[in-house]
Homo-oligomer: A and B are copies of this chain.
Amino acid sequence: MHIKQIEEIVVIKVGIVGATGYTGVELLRLLALRDDVCLQVVTSRELDGTPVADVFPNLRGYIDIAFSNPDDEALAACDVVFYATPHTVAMKSAASLMAKGTRIIDLSADFRLKDRALWEQWYKEKHESPELIELAVYGLPEVNRDAIRQAQLVAVPGCYPTAVQLGFLPLLEAGLVDTSRLIADAKSGVSGAGRKAAVGSLLCEASESLNAYGVAGHRHLPEISQGLEKAAGQAVNLTFIPHLTPMIRGIHATLYATPLGDVSAQQLQSLYEARYADELFVDVMPPGSQPATRNVKGSNRCQMAVHYLPASNTIVVLSVIDNLVKGASGQAVQNMNIMFGLPENEGLQTLSLLL
């Protein structure tokens, strides 16, 4: 397998498989205006032949390409192909593109879990490219930057896993907390459910309401645990409860941990600031902060704050991201930048809309 050399590339030829979902559209938004990127292939089986801007009028005048049927040859001619598809699509077709030297950035869950049996248990499918699992690099730059640089296949982390891992990492890497009882109470906007017609995602059902879901087990749990265990160097026991909340974008993870010994708010603050000092997309806020998802809406940033509650001897970490950006398409672009030797924030230096 020969990966195309980045030295030869001036403009990155990009393909997107499954560009009609929310992560696909978000990729289009983040890539459309870049001079160093050429959107070459944008696939959709249902919309073959339809101009992309007919479906997404916000792109009128910025993108003049039409959707096309997935075609191996056209995709293989790209320098990098993003999979913005439901799981099992990338697993079935990435290998043949890789054989021709194309890089793959998979936003789906196909290559996130290193334990194939665990993947098959949670996704209730036989994995069809087990040989790629080991090859795949888990695309959390704050942990795997060097590996991403060399990777031909990147598995972009899920939205919850991004917010929860970034929030817990400093504590676990420093060995400061009891790993036998971690709690992640996470709240997500509705776009996390994707752009598929489902009664539960209708405005009339999902607005003006809030509920937990997946209490008995959510597919992001093993992915989070895998990352936390790697950071801790030992087994962790995580309770993960996701909630559906009445907004479009945003994840707010509220993390609870018990310190193993004495800790102080100041010590925790320093730990977090040091851990993320060089990270462009992780912003450790000042002591006492309570980050709001609106402040990262549309941006690739994770904002977080660490609190210590002496009365109950509990560490509380608040971590917010935009699930479609740092939790999906923005992180995918961040990975692309790294893979192609570009500044990591190229095309991602966008300010949140705030309101």
Contacts and interface: CB of A to CB of B under 8 A. Distances in A.
Interface of A: 22, 25, 29, 32-33, 56-62, 181, 183, 185, 187, 190-191, 195-199, 201-213, 215-216, 237-239, 241, 243, 245-250, 252, 254, 256, 258, 283, 285, 288-299, 303, 307, 309, 311-314, 316, 318, 320, 324, 349-355
A204 B22 contact: yes
A42 to B, nearest CB: 15
Contacts of A201: 202-204
A173 B329 CA distance: 45
A187 B187 contact: yes
B57 A209 contact: no
B208 A294 contact: yes
Number of copies: 4
Contacts of A283: 60-61
Contacts of A202: 190, 195, 197-198, 201-203
B58 A316 contact: no
B243 A254 contact: yes
Contact of A250 (B25, B209, B239): B209
Contacts of A206: 203
A311 B217 CA distance: 10
A323 to B, nearest CB: 11
A307 B190 contact: no
B216 A307 contact: yes
Contacts of A32: 351
Nearest to A296: B58
A249 B246 CA distance: 12
B212 A290 contact: yes
A154 to B, nearest CB: 24
Nearest to A209: B294
B185 A58 contact: no
Nearest to A250: B210
Nearest to A298: B353
A119 to B, nearest CB: 17
A33 B197 contact: no
Contacts of A238: 312
16 contacts: A32-B351, A58-B299, A58-B354, A61-B283, A185-B256, A190-B202, A207-B248, A208-B293, A210-B250, A211-B292, A215-B307, A237-B311, A239-B312, A239-B316, A246-B246, A324-B355
Nearest to A20: B199
B285 A57 contact: yes
Nearest to A182: B312
